[in-house]
């Protein structure tokens, strides 16, 4: 049985070199081989393909008809191999590929846009897909392979095949209109804030869950005047003087209300931990690995005390 499956690309390249030069000594020198080693290599190749490729005499070397046919086919094979390996090198350099990232809306709006902008600028050939959702949904997206990574908060019920790596802490702040006389300038306590007309998000959201946990720990009750599913709506209600709110600082871009007055929240000072959720035992594609590196660097810049 002919063992053609044992062909080696390096051997094929040397065969092509000899087919071009038709000189064993010159080919051996260019290939960095001894003449006997080149002779053995060609003999081994002929044995593997099951055909004589060269006719040799003491004075000349010629390709056999089978050698001509094999040379033509080998040339195409080597070109294809070079193109394939070149394409793989581009993949390793993240010159092309696909990246799918998901996260909580209250996190993605404050962190991901500028990271994605910088990533696309550096790696324009990579397709970036961004989807946000509730905590349980984004975790399942990572489990199902619909997303490579997720930005989220720690979840007690996190699937065992996912790993959570902390990236930064995001401090809660209070928001009001600049003209709102209900809040004086300076810090405000949670007890004082929750005693005012309060605007917040529904129970299913991570922000509301954290606020309820803080209130329960401090013996307080959250009685919202308004609930809104989207941060932009919460911000708009506060901007109209219909109440005050408490949100993590990184959610402010999603609220779209830069004129709102920001107050430090104390007693207690409360933060939420933000981290990277990804498969526990899965090698990341190069594009994902490079994106994660840029994301970590960006989060390190963000990790500073809230003024």
Mean pLDDT, residues 175-192: 84
Give one DSSP letter per residue of the chain, joined into a string: ---GGG--HHHHHHHHHHHHH--HHHHHHHHT--HHHHHHHHHHHHHHHTS--EEE-SS-EEE-HHHHHHHHHHHHHHHHHHHHHHHHHHHHTTSSEEEEEEE-HHHHHHHHHHHHHHHHHH-TTEEEEEEE--HHHHHHHHHTTS-SEEEE---TT--TTEEEEEEEEEEEEEEE-TT-TTS-SS-EEHHHHHTS-BEE--TTSHHHHHHHHHHHHHT-----SEE-SSHHHHHHHHHTTS-BEEEEGGGHHHHT-TTSEEEEEESS--EEEEEEEEETT-PPPHHHHHHHHHHHHHHHHH-S---
Mean pLDDT, residues 47-65: 89
Return the pLDDT at 37. 93
Least confident stretch, 10-14, 181-185, 285-289 = 181-185
- Give the residues across from 275 on adjacent strands: 152, 166
Query: In which band, very low, low, confident or very high, does the pLDDT at 186 lie, cut at 50, 70 and 90?
Result: confident
Query: In which band, very low, low, confident or very high, does the pLDDT at 304 lie, cut at 50, 70 and 90?
Result: low
The tokens for 301 are 């810049």
Query: In which band, very low, low, confident or very high, does the pLDDT at 2 lie, cut at 50, 70 and 90?
Result: very low
* 0.85 surpassed by pTM: no
Query: In which band, very low, low, confident or very high, does the pLDDT at 260 lie, cut at 50, 70 and 90?
Result: very high
């Amino acid at each position: 049985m002919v063992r053609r499956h044992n062909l080696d690309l390096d051997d094929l390249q040397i065969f092509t070199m000899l087919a071009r030069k038709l000189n064993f000594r010159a080919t051996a020198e260019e290939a960095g081989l001894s003449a006997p080693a080149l002779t053995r290599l060609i003999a081994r190749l002929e044995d593997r393909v099951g055909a004589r490729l060269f006719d040799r005499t003491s004075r000349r070397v010629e390709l056999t008809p089978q050698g001509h046919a094999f040379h033509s086919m080998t040339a195409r094979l080597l070109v294809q191999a070079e193109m394939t390996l070149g394409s793989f090198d581009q993949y390793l350099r993240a010159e092309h590929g696909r990246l799918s990232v998901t996260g909580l809306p209250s996190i993605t709006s404050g962190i991901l846009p500028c990271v994605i902008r910088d990533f696309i600028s550096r790696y324009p050939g990579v397709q970036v897909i961004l989807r946000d959702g509730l905590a349980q949904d984004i975790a399942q997206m990572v489990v199902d392979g619909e997303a490579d990574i997720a930005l989220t908060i720690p979840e007690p019920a996190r699937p065992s095949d996912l790993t959570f790596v902390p990236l930064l802490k995001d401090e809660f702040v209070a928001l009001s209109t600049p003209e709102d006389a209900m809040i004086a300038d300076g810090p405000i306590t949670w007890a004082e804030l929750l005693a005012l007309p309060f605007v917040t998000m529904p129970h299913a959201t991570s922000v509301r869950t954290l606020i309820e946990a803080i209130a329960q720990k401090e013996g307080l009750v959250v009685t919202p005047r308004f609930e809104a599913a989207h941060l932009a709506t919460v911000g708009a209600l506060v901007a109209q003087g219909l109440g005050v709110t408490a949100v993590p600082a990184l959610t402010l871009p999603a609220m779209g209300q830069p004129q709102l007055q920001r107050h430090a929240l104390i007693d207690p000072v409360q933060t939420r931990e933000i981290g990277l959720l990804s498969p526990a035992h899965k090698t990341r594609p190069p594009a994902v690995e490079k994106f994660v590196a840029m994301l970590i660097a960006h989060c390190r810049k963000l990790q500073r005390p809230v003024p």
